[in-house]
Structure 1
Amino acid sequence: LTPGQPWAGLGVLAERLVALGDLPPQPTGEPPAASAPAQYTPALVEAVTAFQRRHGLEADGVLGATTLAALNVPPAARAEQIALQMERLRWTPVLQGPRMIAVNVPEYRLRAYEYAGGRITLRLSMAVIVGKALDTRTPLFDEDMQSIEFSPYWNIPPSIARGETVPRLRRDPGYLARQGMEFVSAAGVSTDTTPEMLGAVLAGQARIRQRPGPLNALGDIKFVLPNNDNIYLHHTSAPTLFGRSRRDLSHGCVRVEEPVALAQFVLQDDPAWTVERIRAAMAQPKPVFVRLPHPVPVIITHITVVVQDGRPHFYGDLYGHDRKLASLLRQHSAKPYDAVRAGSAAGVIGPK
C-alpha cells in the first residue's frame, strides 16, 4: 500500500496506530475507524513510517507484508519479548569502567558510553554491520579492546580462504593481483598464483592476506579485542552497505560506520592522537599499531527491545536467541509465560 491508494483496512490501521502511539488520537474523541479516510493519507503514511522506525524496518511509509506482519504482532507477544530482554539484561555485564562500548546485534548499532559522577552518558551512536544470520553469526561476548591497527593487513581466515578465496583463484588467477592480495609462507611473500601455492594454503602451510589500501576488506582501521573467535571491529571498503535497513552481511566481525569518531573515543586519554593524526595513520601504506593507554570493555549482545526517548523500539530475533531463551525459561517455570499468553491480543489488520 503506497501513499494515495485506497484500502478497506485503513480504519483498522488507524485504530492500531493510535493504540500503539504512532498516530495522534482524533481531537473529537471519536474512534479513528469512524472517520477513516478513503485513501492512504499523508498523516497515516507518517504514522506508519514512525512505526517502521520503531521496529527496525525500512522507514519508507509503504505498508507491505513485513510491516503488516509487525503491526499484527499481539500485545501478549510483545510483553513476552520485553520480559525476555529484562531477563537477558539481568545477566548482561555493565559499568565495568569509566568507558565502555556496546554493540547490539539485532539493532545493528554501536553505542559508546562514559561513566562519571554516578551518571552514564552516551558519547557515540553509529550503525554497524554484523555477521550473516544464516551461517556466519557474530558471537556474543564481553572482551576488552586493547589496541588499534591503522592501515591493517587483512589476514584471510582459513575457513574463508578454503571456502571462497582459493576456489575463486582457481577460476580466476588474476583475482589475487586485482584485490591487492598476496601469499605468505615460510619462504616469504609471493604473488604467484600456482597450484602448489594454493595447495599450501589448503594444507595450512601458507596464508593469504590483503595489503592495506582502498580495496582492503577491513577498510583503513581495525579495533583489536583479543578473543577466541577472532572477532574485531573494523571499517569497510563498502560503506554504502550502511544504508540498508537489514545489515547482517559480514563473516562475523563488526563493521563500524564512523571509525574516526570511535578511534577518538578510545584514544581520548592520549591528546597526541588528534583527528588529523588519526586520519594520517589510516592513510599509511603500512600498518601502524597503537596500544590503548587503558583497555575499553566491549560488549556484543542481542537485545531485541530498546527504549529510546521513552518509547519501546522492537527488533527482529535475528539469531533466534529470544526463541532459545524463552524455551529454556519455560522448562523451569511455565506459569509466567502462560499468564502472558492469557493477556488480551489485538485483532489482525486486514481488509473488511
Structure 2
Amino acid sequence: MQEELNKGSGRQWDRRLLLVNMERRRWRMDDTPQKHQKYILVNLPSYHLEAVDGDKVLSMRIGCGTLKTKTPLLQSMVERMDVNPQWIIPMSIVKESIAPHAGNRGYFRSRHYFIRERATGKVVDPALVGAGALMSGDYRVIQEGGAHNSLGRIIFRFKNNFSVYLHDTSSREVFSREDRGVSHGCVRVERPFDLGVFLLGDSTSLTVQKIRYSMMADVSPVGKKYEELPPEQKAVADTLKRKMLIGSVKVNPRVPIYIYYYTLYPDHEGVMRTYNDIYGYDDVIYRYLRNYMGS
C-alpha cells in the first residue's frame, strides 16, 4: 500500500483511498487478525465475512446495519453459540413497530411474540397489555425461538458494549441483494451452521450433530405444556428427538472476531480490493487528514 502511495501517479481518488485506509490501519496496529492462527474477520463495506484457520478460509456473505443503524466497529472473542435463541426485542423496536399493535392477539401470534412481566417473569396475555405498559419497561416482548425467529436458528455471542452479535436469519433473501445494509446493527451470516463447525473445529462430533438437528427441527412445542398444545403441535412434540436438542454451546478456546471498516483491503489471497464507502466514513477521515497535508 505504501508503494502505491509513493508512486504519485495515480488518480486523486486513489491517493485519497490509500490515505484513509492507511489511517484506519494505523489505529489497529496493537492487535490485528494476522497475529492469530484462527479468527473471524468481518469487513463491513465488503458485505463479507472470512473465517480463517491457518491456510483454510471459510467465506460468506453478510448483512449488516443500515445507514441509520450502523454496525459498530469492534474486536472481541466469540465465547458461545445459542441454538434456537429467543429474541428479546429492543425497546426502540417495541416503541416504533410493536406498541401500535398493543392488545392485538393476532398480531403477536402471527409473529410468534409473547409478553413477559419483568417483575414476576410471568407470561401475560397480549390482549391485557396496552401500548403505554409496553413502553414503560415493565414488560418484555420476546420472540419464540425457531424457524420464524428474526435471529434465525443460531447466534454467536461475544462481549461488547453495543449488544450486537453474529446470527442466522429467517430472511434468507437478504443474501441475494447487492446492498445488504438491512439490520438494526447485528451481523447476519449466510452460512451459520458452517460457521459453527468452524468455531468448534470438529465436524464429526456429537455436539455438531446436535446443532444440525436442532437447527432443522420444529421446536415450537419446546417450553410449553403438552396439554395446552394444539393438535398439530402435539404431533410435533411426539416425534421430537429431545435428546438431540441443544441450547448453548461454549466455544473453547475462544476465537477472536474483528468487525472492521476498510474500503481498500486485501482478500485472503492478498489481492487488494476496493469497496463502496457504505457509511460515508472515508469523507470524514479525509477531511481530518487534509488538516495535516500540504497543498
TM-score normalized by the length of structure 1:
0.67
Q: Is the aligned partner of 1:177 residue 2:106?
A: no
Supply the distance in 1 between the matched residues of 2:255 and 2:35 (Cα, whole angstroms): 9
**Distance in 2, Cα, partners of 1:246 & 1:191:** 39
Per the TM alignment, residue 96 of structure 1 is displaced from its structure 2 partner at its CA by 5.0
1:293 and 1:314 mapped to 2: Cα distance? Answer: 35
Query: Does residue 277 of structure 2 align to residue 317 of structure 1?
Result: yes
Q: Residue 37 of structure 2: which of 59, 80, 98 is its match?
A: 98
Q: CA deviation at 1:240?
A: 1.1
Which of 254, 264, 280 is matched with 1:295 structurally? 254
Per the alignment, do residues 324 and 292 of structure 1 end up closer, same or farther by CA in structure 2, a change over 3 Å counting?
Answer: same
Note the 1:139-158 alignment, pairs <5 A.
139-158=72-91
> Is the Cα–Cα contact under 8 Å of residues 102 and 130 in structure 2 kept in the other structure?
no
DSSP 3-state at the match of 1:139: coil
Any idea what the Cα deviations from partners look like across 1:249-290, whole Å, max 9, x if unmatched?
001100000001100011116963565332113245257011
Distance 1:313 1:178, change over 3 A: same
Q: 4+ residue stretches of structure 1 with deviation over 4 A?
A: 308-311
Matched, 1:244 2:177: yes
Q: 1:159 is paired with a residue of what secondary structure? A: helix
Once the two structures are superposed, residues 150-200 of structure 1 have per-residue CA deviations (whole angstroms, 9 ceiling, x without a partner) of 011011011111121222x23854110011110111334435223635433
Letter in 2 for 1:246: D
**Contact 1:149/1:223, CA 8 A, preserved across alignment:** yes
C-alpha distance in structure 1 between counterparts of 2:40 and 2:271, whole Å: 22
Task: Tell me how far apart the structure 2 counterparts of residues 158 and 178 of structure 1 sit (CA, whole Å).
Answer: 20
- Aligned runs of 1:1-352 on 2, under 5 Å? 75-92=11-28, 93-94=31-32, 95-115=34-54, 121-133=55-67, 135-167=68-100, 169-170=101-102, 172-185=104-117, 186-190=119-123, 192-194=125-127, 196-268=129-201, 272-273=205-206, 275-283=208-216, 285=219, 288-308=247-267, 311-331=271-291, 333-335=292-294, 338=295
- Give the AA of the match of 2:50: R
Cα distance change on mapping 1:131 and 1:218 into 2, 3 Å: same
Question: How large is the RMSD of aligned CA atoms in angstroms?
Answer: 2.3
Maintained 8 Å contact 2:103/2:127: no
Question: TM-score normalized by structure 2?
Answer: 0.79
Q: Identical aligned pairs, as a percentage?
A: 33
**Once the 2 structures are TM-superposed, how far is the Cα of residue 77 of structure 1 from its aligned partner?**
0.5
Letter matched to residue 126 of structure 1: M
Q: State the alpha-carbon separation in 2 of the partners of residues 96 and 181 from structure 1.
A: 43
Whether the 8 Å CA contact 1:137–1:319 is kept in 2: the answer is yes
**Contact 1:96–1:297 (CA under 8 A) maintained in structure 2:** no
The alignment of Structure 1 onto Structure 2 pairs a total of residues equal to: 255
Amino acid at match of 1:204: G
CA distance in 2: counterparts of 1:315 and 1:180, whole angstroms: 38
Structure 1, unpaired ranges of 5+: 1-73, 116-120, 339-352
Shift of 1:310: 6.2
Segments of structure 2 that go 5 or more residues without pairing to the other structure are: 1-9, 223-245
Q: Distance in 2 between matches of 1:207 and 1:171?
A: 14
Contact kept in structure 2, 1:181 and 1:191, CA below 8 Å: no
CA separation of 1:318/1:194 partners in 2, compared to 1, >3 Å: closer, same or farther? same
